[in-house]
Amino acid sequence: MTNTEGTVVRRRDGDVEQHEAHNKTSDVTFRPPLDLYDFEDRYEAVFDVPGTTTDDIDVTVHDGVLTVEARVAPRYPGNITPMLGEFGVGDFRRQVRLGEDIDTESITAEYRDGVLMLTLPKRAERRPRKVEVRGG
């Protein structure tokens, strides 16, 4: 799996992020951190997308590319000057190219504590199978 990058803009902690025109509730789009784990029968992809809701998250697969988008509503009163402003609040978007061993029809998603967890089952026929060797 590799990242598919669009135009790159600067993000809150100095990292770069992907930025493309889409339906947004805010001006800036952030690239959420990602953990990717390989299990025997599945992959798990975990994204930090705090401050959104289940209804505001879109997970799509198109041409072998998984796209995660999350809309984040502004949280601050507009007329306030912060005493300390270390991070920005905005939508999240990240794309991941999927391997051919993933059954894209069976991907499931769960959102809890600001974390989106995707379970990506591997195709049964592509899974390595242990072949039993019998003695004669």
Partner 1 sequence: MLQTIMPSALLRGTMLDQFARNVDRLVEAAVGPVLTSAPAAWPALNVWRDGDEIFVEAEIPGFRLEDIEIMASGDSLTLRGRRESAVPEGATPLRVERSITQFERTVQLPVEIDPDAVEARLTDGVLRVTLPLAESARPKRVQIQSVGTGGRKVLSGGDKKK
Q: Is the CB of 19 or the CB of 45 nearer to partner 1?
A: 45
Q: Is the CB of 113 or the CB of 125 nearer to partner 1?
A: 113
Q: Is the CB of 62 or the CB of 75 nearer to partner 1?
A: 75
Write the CA distances from 38 to 41, 44, 45, 47, 109, integer angstroms: 8, 7, 9, 15, 16
Give the number of other Cβ atoms within 10 Å of residue 54's Cβ. Answer: 11
Shortest CB 130 distance to partner 1, Å: 16
- 125 by DSSP, 3-state: which? helix
Residues forming contacts to partner 1 in the complex (CB under 8 A) are 1, 12-14, 33-40, 43-44, 46, 48-53, 75-77, 80-87, 111, 113-115
With 0-12 / 13-18 / 19 or more C-beta atoms within 10 angstroms meaning exposed / middle / buried, residue 57 is middle
Shortest CB 60 distance to partner 1, Å: 20
Whether 120 and 98 have beta carbons less than 8 Å apart is answered as yes
Shortest CB 134 distance to partner 1, Å: 28
Q: Is the CB of 130 or the CB of 134 nearer to partner 1?
A: 130
Give the number of other Cβ atoms within 10 Å of residue 45's Cβ. Answer: 22
Shortest CB 9 distance to partner 1, Å: 18
